[in-house]
Structure 1
Amino acid sequence: MSIRQWWPKLQPSTQRWLMDNNGDVIPGGIVSEIVAAGGPPTGDPWWGDSMEAEGPVFPDEAIDWIEETANDENPK
């Protein structure tokens, strides 16, 4: 499922956290909410679990999408 499909299912506070902390390691509670909303499970290669990170992070294209959304650059 695309980020465009599950993003609206997240709580506004979760969306705000993801925008404010874009590119950071995603806490377990937020990962669980993303999975419950239909996003990728933690074992999915969509998650960019990098060597430097201490947990799951979004891949570059998702980080870009979230940044565009935060800046109101994505069409509805």
Structure 2
Amino acid sequence: MNIETWWPKVTADSREWLLDHASEPVEPSVRADILSVTAVADGSTWDGSGSEEGEFELTDRTVDWIEAVANGETPIF
């Protein structure tokens, strides 16, 4: 599931956190929120991946999308 689909389904708190921290590893509570709306147990299809440190990170495409939203732009990807 891509970000365009799950973005409006996560909580406002999760969206705010993502807007403020898009390029950082995803906070566990935000990851849980995303997984709750995508129903993907490992997160592999929601534009994220595990890092070597065991943290969960967003793909470059997803970070670019979030940064466009944060800048008041219309994300087109």
Tell me which interval the TM-score lies in, with the shorter structure as reference length: 0.7 to 0.9
Structure 2 residues without counterparts, runs of 5 or longer: none
TM-superposition CA deviations, 1:25-60 (whole Å, max 9, x none): 112111110011117543517423333x55001010
Partners of 2:43 and 2:49 within 8 A in 1: no
**Structure with the largest fraction of strand:** 2
How far apart in 2 are the matches of 1:39 and 1:70? 26
Q: What TM-score do you get using the length of structure 1 for normalisation?
A: 0.80
How far the C-alpha of 1:3 sits from its partner, in A, is: 0.6
Tell me the number of residue pairs that the alignment of Structure 1 and Structure 2 aligns: 74
Partners of 2:61 and 2:39 in 1: CA distance? 15
Deviation above 4 Å: which 4+ runs of structure 1? none
CA-atom RMSD in angstroms = 2.1
Equivalence map 1:27-66=2 (5 Å): 27-38=27-38, 40-42=40-42, 44=44, 46-51=47-52, 53-66=53-66
TM-score of the aligned structures, taking structure 2 as reference length: 0.79
CA deviation after TM superposition for structure 1 residue 71, in Å: 1.1
Identity %: 28
* Cα distance in structure 2, aligned partners of 1:39 and 1:4: 15
2:21 alignment partner in structure 1: 21
Aligned residue for 2:4? 4
Counterpart residue type for residue 59 of structure 1? T
